[in-house]
Amino acid sequence: MDYVLYFVGGYLIGSIPSAYIIAKIKAGIDIRKMGSGNVGAYNVYDSTKSRSAAILVGILDAMKGFIVTYGVWKFCTLDIWAQVLAFLGTIIGHNYPLWLKFKGGRGLATAAGGYIAIGFPHIVVWCLLWVVAYRFSRKILRANLYAILLSPLVILILPSSMIAPYLIRDMEVIDYRLLVYIVSTFHLLSHLDEIKRNFLPQRTE
């Protein structure tokens, strides 16, 4: 029962729509009806052309992940799986927020914030892959996809000795790898529109 409460608590906090709120305050727009329709930092920038607004959204989204994941550990329980469930709940809440009829963001910043309280390896690997992919593609969302697809493979290949020292929580490397696979699956689901656009043949009339 406690696990359910941690998950639901994470989901409700993750559901706080930072991008929607900031876009309303900054430009008086409904971010769901602008650009890609995604409720996240990149679409805020794309729709408002305000770098400061986009950065603020990114920070707020990351804080959701960190506050929930760190808070469960420090103030509720030392059970790593309670922390993990709250972390995953936050990502799902961000991607499918209750308050916006389950239309949310992609969950990257929220996941990064949560990882800060669990372990850094996935963040580092993902960012390095993203930089390389962006250098060649010059497209942010396409670089996202390559980093999402390749980072779990790199985490799998890396020896445990290169992962364990950088875990904040005391957890088995195999469990951390499992978490990476689950989080990456959520990221893939939130990028389905980009997968269809970039990797599937387009139907022509």
Q: Are both 90 and 155 inside the same structural domain?
A: no
Give the residue-averaged pLDDT of 129-156: 93
Percent of the chain with pLDDT over 70: 96
The DSSP line for the chain is -HHHHHHHHHHHHHT--HHHHHHHHHHS--GGGSTT---SHHHHHHHH--HHHHHHHHHHHHHHHHHHHHHIIIII---HHHHHHHHHHHHHHHHS-GGGTT-----HHHHHHHHHTTBSHHHHHHHHHHHHHHHHH--HHHHHHHHHHHHHHHHHHS-GGGTGGGBSS---HHHHHHHHHHHHHHHHHHTHHHHHHHHSPPP--
pLDDT tens-digit readout, 86-120: 999 999 999 999 999 899 999 999 999 999 999 99
At residue 78, the pLDDT reads 84
At residue 198, the pLDDT reads 66
Q: Are both 114 and 46 inside the same structural domain?
A: yes
Q: What are phi and psi of 119, to 5 degrees?
A: 175, 145
What is the reported pTM? 0.92
At residue 117, the pLDDT reads 94
Give the separation between CA 90 and CA 134, rounded to whole angstroms. Answer: 27
Instruction: Locate 144 and state its tokens.
Output: 């996202």
Q: Are both 147 and 129 inside the same structural domain?
A: yes
Q: Residue holding tokens 């387009």? A: 202
Q: Are both 12 and 44 inside the same structural domain?
A: yes
At residue 52, the pLDDT reads 93
In this predicted structure, the answer to whether residue 205 has a pLDDT above a threshold of 60 is no
Q: Are both 93 and 135 inside the same structural domain?
A: no
- The amino acid at residue 4 is V
Per-residue pLDDT band for 203 (boundaries 50, 70, 90) equals low
The count of domains in the chain is 2
Of 60, 87, 118, the residue that ends a domain is 118
pLDDT tens-digit readout, 27-47: 899 999 998 888 999 999 989
Q: Are both 5 and 102 inside the same structural domain?
A: yes
Q: Residue holding tokens 């390095």? A: 128
Q: Are both 112 and 133 inside the same structural domain?
A: no
CB-hemisphere CA count at 13 Å for 50? 18
**Higher per-residue confidence, 102 vs 194:** 102
Per-residue pLDDT band for 196 (boundaries 50, 70, 90) equals confident
At residue 202, the pLDDT reads 58
Q: Are both 84 and 155 inside the same structural domain?
A: no
Of 118, 148, 172, the residue that ends a domain is 118
Q: Are both 159 and 112 inside the same structural domain?
A: no
pLDDT tens-digit readout, 64-79: 999 999 999 999 888 8
Of 118, 134, 157, the residue that ends a domain is 118
pLDDT tens-digit readout, 157-184: 999 999 999 999 889 999 999 999 999 9
What residues make up the domain containing 173? Answer: 119-205
Q: ∠ CA(76), CA(122), CA(137), 5° rounding?
A: 140
